Amino acid sequence: KNMQAAFGYKIEGIGQIKAQYFAKQASVEMEDEEGETITVLSDDADGRIEVAFNLTKVENLFVEFGFRMPTDTDIAGEWQQINVYGNYKMDAMTFHLLAMITLTEDDTVMKFGAGMDYALDGGIGINADVRYYNDVAYNGEDARITFMVGATKGFSNGLIGAGLEVVSADETGYMVPVRMEYWF
C-alpha cells in the first residue's frame, strides 16, 4: 500500500527518461457513531504513475515534460496531468517557463508561468515572474494573475531574500515572501 519504484535511463546527447509508480495507503471518509464525518485509512492503495523526459540536447537549455495519472480512479477520481518546465541560460540571465494542465472529468485546470533571474556581482540576484491560474484552479472563483519581484543575497553556505508579490483577482492582494536558506 505504501511504496515507490522508479527508474531512469539516460540517452547520451539527448536527455533522460524517467518513470515511477508511487502509492500510499488511501483514506476514506465515513460517519462515526455520532454521525460526524471522519477520515480513516482504507485497505486500498492510492497509486500514481508518473513519466517524464528531460531534454538536455541543446546547450544552456533544460526542458522537462511530465505526465501523471492515478491507477485507481475509484479512489483518486479520473484525471491526468501534463507538466512542462523549461529554462534557458544566457550569461547572467535565466529565463523560465512553466505550464501545468490537469484534465478532469468535468473541467480543465490550467496554470502557466514565466520568469527571469538575473545574477549581479557579489552574490546578489534579482528575479521576477508572472503567473496565470484559471478559475477552475481556485474552485470556480475568478482567474488569477500574480506578479512577483524579488532579490537574494548569496553567502558561502546559504542565502537570504525578499520580494513583493501582487495577486490580481476579484480583489487585489499582496504578499511579502521572505526566503532564508542554510546548507551544510
116, pLDDT greater than 80:
yes
Q: Average pLDDT, stretch 76-98?
A: 95
| 8 A C-beta contact, residue 118 and residue 126 | yes
Place 42 in a pLDDT band, splitting at 50, 70 and 90.
confident
* Mean of per-residue pLDDT scores for the chain: 91
In the predicted structure, residue 29 carries a pLDDT above the cut 80:
no
- What pLDDT score does 75 carry? 78
The pLDDT value recorded for residue 49 is 94
Query: Closest Cα to residue 167, out of 142, 140, 139, 136?
Result: 142
pLDDT at 40 over 80: no
User: What is the pLDDT, as a whole number, of residue 73?
Assistant: 82
Instruction: Give the model's pLDDT for residue 65.
Output: 97
Tell me the pTM: 0.79
Q: How far is CA 48 from the centre of its chain?
A: 16
32/168 Cα distance (integer angstroms): 42
Separation between Cα atoms, residue 29 and residue 7, nearest integer Å: 34
Candidate from 37-41, 47-51, 109-113 with smallest mean pLDDT: 37-41
Give the Cα separation of 78 and 72 in Å (integer). Answer: 8
pLDDT of 172 > 90? The answer is no
- Kind and range of the H or E run holding 73: helix 73-76
Q: What are phi and psi of 57, to 5 degrees?
A: -65, -40
Can you spell out the DSSP letters for 18-62?
Answer: EEEEEEEEEEEEEE-TTS-EEEEEEEEEEEEEEEEEEE--STTEE
**Widest pairwise Cα distance in the chain:** 65
Place of cell 502557466: 112
